[in-house]
Amino acid sequence: MQNPNSNRKYVIGGIVLVVAVLFMLRLFYIQVIDKSYQLSSNNNSRLRVVEYPDRGMIFDRYGKVMVYNEAVYDLLMLPQQVKAFDTLELCRILSVDLAEFRESVKKAREYSRYRQSAVVRQISPEQIASLNEKLFKYPGFSIQIRTQRKYPQPIAPHVLGYVGEVNQGDINSDVYYQSGDYIGISGLEEEYEPYLRGRKGIRFMLVDVHNRLQGNFENGQYDTIPEPGRKLTTSLDAGLQEYGEKLLAHKRGSIVAIEPATGEILAMISSPAYDPNELVGRIRGKNFEKLMNDSLNPLFNRATMSRYSPGSIFKAVQALVALQLGVIDEFYSVDCNKSIIGCHNHPNAHGLREGIRYSCNPYFYNVFRRIILQGKSTSQFQDSQIGLKSWYQMVYSFGLGQVLPSDLPGIKPGLVPDVAYYDKWYGANRWAFSTIYSNSIGQGEVETVPIQIANLAAIIANRGFYYVPHFVKAIEGIDTIPQKFREPVHTAIDPKYFEIISDGMQGVVYEPGGTGSRAQVPGVTVCGKTGTVQNSGGKKDHSGFVAFAPKERPRIAIVAYVENSGAGGVYAATIASLMIEKYLNGTITQTEKERIILEYQQF
For residue 393, being part of any structural domain is answered with yes
- Same structural domain for residues 146 and 118? yes
* pLDDT tens string 40-61: 444 446 667 788 899 999 999 9
User: How do strand 58-59 and strand 232-234 relate by DSSP bridges?
Assistant: parallel
CA distances from 602 to 253, 564, 565 (A): 11, 9, 9
- Reduced to 3 states (helix: H, G, I; strand: E, B; else coil), residue 601 is coil
Is there a contact between 245 and 557 (Cβ–Cβ < 8 Å)? Answer: no
Phi first, then psi: give them for residue 247, nearest 5 degrees.
-65, -35
For residue 257, being part of any structural domain is answered with yes
Integer Cα distance of 276 and 278 in angstroms:
5
Q: Helix H segments across 250-314?
A: 284-292, 302-305
Q: Please give the residue range of the domain that contains residue 101.
A: 54-133+140-207+223-234
Is there a contact between 406 and 454 (Cβ–Cβ < 8 Å)? Answer: no
- Same structural domain for residues 475 and 561? yes
For residue 411, being part of any structural domain is answered with yes
What is the per-residue DSSP string for 109-173?
HHH-SSS-EEEEEEE-HHHHHHHHTTGGGSTTEEEEEEEEEE-SS---HHHH--EEE--HHHHHH
For residue 153, being part of any structural domain is answered with yes
Integer Cα distance of 416 and 402 in angstroms:
8
- Same structural domain for residues 194 and 337? no
Is there a contact between 472 and 486 (Cβ–Cβ < 8 Å)? Answer: no
- Same structural domain for residues 202 and 277? no
Q: Is it the case that residue 212 has pLDDT exceeding 70? A: no
Residues of the chain with pLDDT > 90, as a percent, come to 76
CATH number at residue 255: 3.40.710.10
- Same structural domain for residues 109 and 245? no
User: What total of structural domains would you count in the chain?
Assistant: 2
For residue 405, being part of any structural domain is answered with yes
- Same structural domain for residues 417 and 468? yes
Which amino acid type is present at position 43?
A: N
Residues 6+ positions from 66 with CB-CB distance below 8 Å: 58, 59, 60, 151, 152, 153, 155, 156, 160, 234, 236, 238
Is there a contact between 363 and 356 (Cβ–Cβ < 8 Å)? Answer: no
Q: Greater confidence, 80 or 32?
A: 80
* pLDDT tens string 230-289: 999 999 999 999 999 999 999 999 999 999 999 999 999 999 999 999 999 888 889 999
Stretch among 137-141, 314-318, 456-460 having the lowest mean pLDDT: 137-141
Residues 6+ positions from 572 with CB-CB distance below 8 Å: 253, 530, 531, 543, 544, 545, 560, 561, 562, 565
Residues 6+ positions from 297 with CB-CB distance below 8 Å: 272
Global pTM exceeds 0.85: yes
For residue 294, being part of any structural domain is answered with no
Q: What is the dihedral of CA 336, 340, 341, 346, to 10 degrees?
A: 10
- Cα 49 from chain centroid (whole Å): 34
- Same structural domain for residues 176 and 245? no
Q: Is it the case that residue 39 has pLDDT exceeding 50? A: no
For residue 26, being part of any structural domain is answered with no
Q: Is it the case that residue 144 has pLDDT exceeding 80? A: yes
- Cα 574 from chain centroid (whole Å): 26
- Reduced to 3 states (helix: H, G, I; strand: E, B; else coil), residue 551 is coil
- Same structural domain for residues 324 and 369? yes
Q: Residue range 202-216: average pLDDT?
A: 70
- Reduced to 3 states (helix: H, G, I; strand: E, B; else coil), residue 298 is coil
Residues 6+ positions from 15 with CB-CB distance below 8 Å: none
pLDDT of residue 222: 82
According to DSSP, the residues that pair with 256 across neighbouring strands are 268, 559
Integer Cα distance of 368 and 388 in angstroms:
10
Q: Residue range 592-596: average pLDDT?
A: 97
Q: Residue range 339-352: average pLDDT?
A: 94
- Same structural domain for residues 493 and 379? yes
- Same structural domain for residues 253 and 188? no
Helix (H) or strand (E) run with residue 536 in it: none
Residue 533, CB-side half-sphere exposure with 13 Å CA sphere: 26
Integer Cα distance of 348 and 334 in angstroms:
7
Q: Is it the case that residue 557 has pLDDT exceeding 50? A: yes
* pLDDT tens string 103-131: 999 999 988 887 788 899 888 888 899 89
CATH number at residue 173: 3.90.1310.10
DSSP 8-class letter at 31: I
For residue 295, being part of any structural domain is answered with no
DSSP 8-class letter at 478: -
Residues of the chain with pLDDT > 70, as a percent, come to 93
- Same structural domain for residues 331 and 450? yes
- Same structural domain for residues 199 and 271? no
Integer Cα distance of 151 and 144 in angstroms:
23
